[in-house]
Amino acid sequence: MVPESGERNTDNPGTAQNNVDDGGTFDFIVVSNRLPVDRVAGEDGQEGTWRRSPGGLVTALAPMMAKTDGAWVGWAGAPDEELEPFDHDNMRLIPTTLSAADLELYYEGFSNATLWPLYHDVIAPPEFHRAWWDAYRRVNRRFADAVARAASHGATVWVQDYQLQLVPQYLREARPDLTIGFFNHIPFPPPEIFAQLPWRRAILQGLLGADLVGFQRGNDAANFLRSVRRFLGLTVKQQRVQVPAADGGPSRASRAEAFPISIDVSQISQLAQREDIVERAAQIRRDLGNPTTVLLGVDRLDYTKGIGHRLKAFGELLEDQAVKVGDATLIQVASPSRERVEQYRLLREEVEGTVGRINGTYDTLENTAIRYLHHSYPIEEMVALYLAADVMLVTALRDGMNLVAKEYVAARVHDTGALVLSEFTGAADQLRQALLVNPHDIDGLKETIMAAVRMPPREASRRMKAMRRHILDHDVEQWSQSFLNTLAAEKGSHEH
């Protein structure tokens, strides 16, 4: 096939580095845009330290890292910083440098203003800029080089998420001895939308460098395979693509499959039973004036989350007097995110304007309609919020999985509470007993919220029990094991 514009292989930017010696010592390497640690500032000029970031991925992989000779490659979170590899929590962390320009072009630009909206149903218009694409290739090359240097002969590498879709191919070229897995944490769009990307073929080829490409939902894997057929003209059989070798040698197989991610269920359940956290949940309700119903939304402040649709529905319920301030309060936690990207700035203004209007209209001196918090909180406080909430609202317009929905279910150890969950989340494939909604249908959303507010305790308990059963059997540990076992089996099957 004729290469599409911008996809020539001859002008590799960055430090093209093929056939790196098998010089590294690590048998298992995870690579993601961010390292799984956050910086904690030191006191009074003391040097800062690192703390493991919240989130299931690192919890699931840390034991594996400690057991095997494992390392994690990624960015430490600040621009222009050259850090030496260091150990944390029995893990070797290998920082990659991102300059201020890389951040603007690769991270804020191509990752979060091209791919993010394109992969989320073009809820916001994606922008296509050649300079962003060049930076994306350059940075992906840098990450691949760092992995190629660190990996031992025959090591397993697991590449995470949409920021690094070219890494599998770059790595395969430099180190054909490696076993390479890729997992996409966000949706993969249908070919009709993916078609817009000027560099669609290069992205598909990048991903096909992996032996196993994992997605959240069966639909995402199917979308990817349809794009592979349509834009690369390759044959797909039983979810396997036959990938021809560049030099006319024997082809290799790359498999696409769904592995729905989960959370550390036992950690959340344990926190939900800790006395101080249970007391904190009661305190939260008291501080709100003990309303009959506490509703809760928890999201990164992102346009994919449907926060505006949720606020509109809640505002109309107040207007209709279906709910009353004092009886019902909505807590909306919106954690700051990607604040230098234009669409995120606009969203913040819009959400805060709407909250201000609703509260201005319905608040009393004693009570508020919406308690809006533009913060992020430690997991202990999140669990207290989940315990304090009678109704959890997840109204995303498109979401790869939505782990907040799973965290709420994990925290409801007494089988109480109701989950309103958008059909457009990966979680809706698994949490079938939630009250599923189409968030675009505001009347439907209002009815569903009221059904959750009024849900008889026996029905709530039946639904919550079934959802808890599902996630107890499908935690993040099981997810990572299942991906890595399939990866090992795939690699084994090629070698016969």
Which residues are part of the catalytic machinery?
185, 399
- Report d(CA 452, CA 470) in Å as an integer: 20
Q: Does 71 bind ligand G6P (CB under 6 A)?
A: no
Q: Indicate which single residue of 93, 148, 186, 382 sits in contact with ligand G6P (rule: CB under 6 A).
A: 186
**Biggest distance spanned by C-alpha atoms of the chain:** 75
Handedness of CA 117, 120, 122, 124 (dihedral sign): negative
- From the number of C-beta atoms within 10 Å of its C-beta (0-12, 13-18, 19+), residue 193 rates as middle
Nearer to ligand G6P, 384 or 404 (CB): 404
Counting residues that bind ligand G6P (by CB under 6 A) gives: 6
- Report d(CA 50, CA 37) in Å as an integer: 6
Q: Does 142 bind ligand G6P (CB under 6 A)?
A: no
Q: Does 52 bind ligand G6P (CB under 6 A)?
A: no
Q: Does 139 bind ligand G6P (CB under 6 A)?
A: no
Say if residues 221 and 250 touch (Cβ distance below 8 Å): no
Q: Does 397 bind ligand G6P (CB under 6 A)?
A: no
Helix/strand/coil (H/E/C) assignment for every residue in 442-491: HHHHHHHHHHHHCCCHHHHHHHHHHHHHHHHHCCHHHHHHHHHHHHHHHH
Least CB distance to ligand G6P at residue 250 (A): 34
Q: Which residues contact 78 (CB under 8 A, 6 or more apart)?
A: 39
Q: Does 299 bind ligand G6P (CB under 6 A)?
A: no
Q: Closest CB to ligand G6P belongs to which residue? A: 185
Q: Strands (DSSP E) along 301-365, which ranges?
A: 328-335
Q: Does 92 bind ligand G6P (CB under 6 A)?
A: no
Cα–Cα distances in angstroms (integers) from residue 444 to residues 358, 395, 435, 447, 448, in the given order: 20, 12, 11, 5, 6
Nearer to ligand G6P, 81 or 287 (CB): 81
Q: Indicate which single residue of 185, 371, 468, 474 sits in contact with ligand G6P (rule: CB under 6 A).
A: 185
Nearer to ligand G6P, 12 or 337 (CB): 337
Least CB distance to ligand G6P at residue 174 (A): 24
Site residues for ligand G6P, 330-389, by CB under 6 A, read 337-338
- Report d(CA 405, CA 407) in Å as an integer: 6
- Report d(CA 180, CA 254) in Å as an integer: 10
Least CB distance to ligand G6P at residue 142 (A): 17
Nearer to ligand G6P, 34 or 129 (CB): 34
Q: Does 137 bind ligand G6P (CB under 6 A)?
A: no
Nearer to ligand G6P, 208 or 404 (CB): 404
Least CB distance to ligand G6P at residue 161 (A): 4
Site residues for ligand G6P, 14-43, by CB under 6 A, read 34
Q: Does 161 bind ligand G6P (CB under 6 A)?
A: yes
Supply 209's token pair: 């460098």
Say if residues 160 and 30 touch (Cβ distance below 8 Å): yes
CA-wise closest residue to 150 among 182, 169, 178 = 178
Nearer to ligand G6P, 175 or 185 (CB): 185
Say if residues 205 and 169 touch (Cβ distance below 8 Å): yes
Least CB distance to ligand G6P at residue 215 (A): 12
Strand partners, 187: none
Q: Does 460 bind ligand G6P (CB under 6 A)?
A: no
- Report d(CA 400, CA 398) in Å as an integer: 7
Q: 295: how many CB neighbours lie within 10 A of its CB?
A: 25
Q: Does 53 bind ligand G6P (CB under 6 A)?
A: no
Least CB distance to ligand G6P at residue 116 (A): 8
Least CB distance to ligand G6P at residue 107 (A): 7
Chain residues in the site for ligand G6P (CB under 6 A): 34, 161, 185-186, 337-338
